[in-house]
Structure 1
Amino acid sequence: MARTDIQGRAGRAVHPEQWAEVASVGGFFALRTAASGDATGPGRPLAALYAGEGAPLSARVDAVAARLGAPERRVAASIAHLGLAARLWSIALGPAALHGTLPDLGAERLLWDGRRTSPDDLLLRPGGPDREASAEALVECVVEGHLAPLAEAFRRDTPVSSGLLRGNTGSALAGAVRELHGWARKSGRPDVGERALALGAELFENPQLACTGALLSGPAFRRRSCCLYYRCPGGGLCGDCVFERPPGRSAARRGTRR
């Protein structure tokens, strides 16, 4: 497959007005920066979370468990992980598709407050310049820089399948591609939609993501695992679930979760 053609702005930072455009795609794409909020705040660097300071992560899993009435802690851990994975993919893929750049989203720069929800959960501190967006750069930044150590942090907190968490990674990426594609269609920006689809297709060629599922036309996604949301009271299957019907039930109840 041909590599994605993006006119990048390597070496320059995304301007506040460009972040505002990225945020217009949806709440998952919004990111507070030092220019738009307190650069310290109550959040902790994600690097600290990855290094083993897991109290904020445990508190987040507890909050999700209480909100959903999750019957097992691993169910809440999966849903909490999926939400944060979606945030990380969105704030990286949005600037990549819209402006051809990948911000410096290093784990030391990115503060997370698990008591808040998007767009108030993440704050980006000043740091290095952006680089030109590419699938390889996105894998290095998001998968290797965040989602791999994030999965380890979740598994330290809760016994949850590594395959399930990998599936969440693919599902979150596909959701970000789908949101960008839909926004581009409504906004009259076919170029953005095409870049999002091209980047998504290229990313799913990477072995770390190819094993999670398949990006289909539409765009749609079919994952090879289940996030366990169906186990919550009133929960159904997500639109990309590996199952056709919830295990142990006679009829499928597909939900509307991203």
Structure 2
Amino acid sequence: MTDTDPDTDTATATVLSESVTGLGPFFAFRIHPLGTEPDGPWQPMSRPLLEARVAAVGARLAAAGGRPPGSVEPRVAASVAHLGLAARLISPALAAAVLHDRVLAPGLTELRWQPVIGGPIPLSLPDSAVADSPAGSPEHLADELSTRLLDGPLRELSDMMGKFSVSRHIVWGNTASALNGAATMIAAARPELAARTRSLTSLLLARPPLRGTATMAGGGTFRRRSCCLIYRAAPDRSGPLCGDCVLAR
């Protein structure tokens, strides 16, 4: 965003937010001016809150499987928590790119969230998260998203997951899976944008840090090259696999 008219920057970002949010709750976000705090129970993406999030996800997974608290491996809970957070960052960003050719890349320390369990995580982004000009060609748009989003807040989030012994192979597989999930939802909501969405998704998957994290099988079926580990949350560690899992046959 430019620094000449903060009110205009906030208004422009708010219009973008309203357009993207129209795709559904997994794309929804609100805008707050950089340097201010949004009203309500919003929290920064701090390490203590992330640790609490992982613990809460682990407890929820254990309860769903009829297991006692603390029985789910921390790295399993951390991977599942990461997948949800990555999806909430990448979904509105992909939508902003597809709908408006805009790059949406918030700094991880500047965004605010509400760590609810179950359903889409409420998200508030600073107005500075919106690029000050359209990104240009699809290739340039993919380059900008790779640099500013994937190598920005999503890499920061990836680094934070190292504490829980979640490998980078899994973390970036989670991110690729979140990207594909967002593309699928956009195509379902706006079929006329399906080709554009899939094209941009393919460009992002071909660039680092997502290069090599997934394959597109016959008929365009997405298959990641890692596992989010959620099957290990089942009582016998043999729960169902996700549809895009490398272990699925």
Report the TM-score when normalising by structure 1.
0.76
The answer as to 2:238 corresponding to 1:237 is: no
What does residue 140 of structure 1 align with? 147
Shift of 1:119: 4.7
1:60 and 2:53 aligned: yes
CA shift for structure 1 position 163: 1.1
Deviations for 1:171-208, whole angstroms, at most 9, x for unmatched residues?
111111111111112xxxx1x22221111111111132
Amino acid at match of 2:143: E
Matched position secondary structure for 2:165: coil
- What's the secondary structure of 2:246's corresponding residue? coil
Instruction: Tell me if structure 1 keeps the 8 A contact 2:106–2:126.
Output: no
Unaligned regions of 5+ residues in structure 2, if any?
1-8, 63-70, 136-140
Q: SS at 2:124's partner residue?
A: strand
* 3-state SS in 1 of match to 2:112: strand
Asked if 1 retains the 8 angstrom alpha-carbon contact of 2:93 and 2:105, the reply is no
- SS of match in other structure, 1:127: helix
Shift of residue 211, structure 1, vs aligned partner: 1.6
Q: Answer yes or no: is the 8 Å Cα contact 1:82–1:169 preserved in 2.
A: yes
Does the 8 Å contact 2:170/2:227 carry over to 1? yes
- One-letter amino acid of the counterpart of residue 142, structure 1: L
Q: Tell me the equivalent position of 2:182.
A: 176
- Cα RMSD of the aligned pairs, angstroms, is 2.7
Match of 1:83, SS state, is helix
**Per-residue deviation, residues 8-31 of structure 1 (Å, max 9, x unmatched):** xxx996453442331232222100
| Corresponding residue for residue 224 of structure 1 | 225
Equivalent residue number for residue 157 of structure 2: 150
Aligned to 1:32: 30
Corresponding residue SS for 1:166: helix
Inter-CA distance 203–129: structure 2 relative to 1 (3 Å threshold) = closer
Amino acid of the structure 1 residue aligned with 2:207: N
- Name 2:204's counterpart in structure 1: 203
- Work out the percentage of aligned pairs sharing the same amino acid: 39
Quick one: structure 1 residues 241 and 93, their matched pair in 2 at CA, closer, same or farther if it must change by over 3 Å? same
> What is aligned with 1:110?
111
Distance 1:153 1:33 in 2: 24
State the Cα deviation string for residues 224-249 of structure 1 (Å, max 9, x = none).
Answer: 1111111223841101000136xxxx
Q: Note the C-alpha offset of 1:107.
A: 2.5
CA distance in 1 between counterparts of 2:128 and 2:109 reads 9
Q: How many residues align?
A: 222
User: Given the alignment of the two structures, is residue 160 of structure 1 paired with residue 159 of structure 2, yes or no?
Assistant: no
Aligned to 2:214: 213
Aligned residue for 1:222, secondary structure, equals: strand
Q: Counterparts of 1:18 and 1:150 in 2: how far apart (Å)?
A: 24
Report the AA paired with residue 96 of structure 2.
P
Deviations 1:55-96 (A, max 9, x none): 100100011011111621111100000001111111211111
Cα deviation, residue 108, structure 1: 3.7
Q: CA separation of 1:63/1:224 partners in 2, compared to 1, >3 Å: closer, same or farther?
A: same
Q: CA deviation at 1:102?
A: 1.6
The one-letter amino acid of 1:88's match is L
Does structure 2 retain, via aligned residues, the 8 Å contact 1:178–1:219? no
The structure that is helix-richer by fraction is 2
SS in 2 for 1:210: coil
- Structure 2 Cα separation of the partners of residues 172 and 153 of structure 1: 18
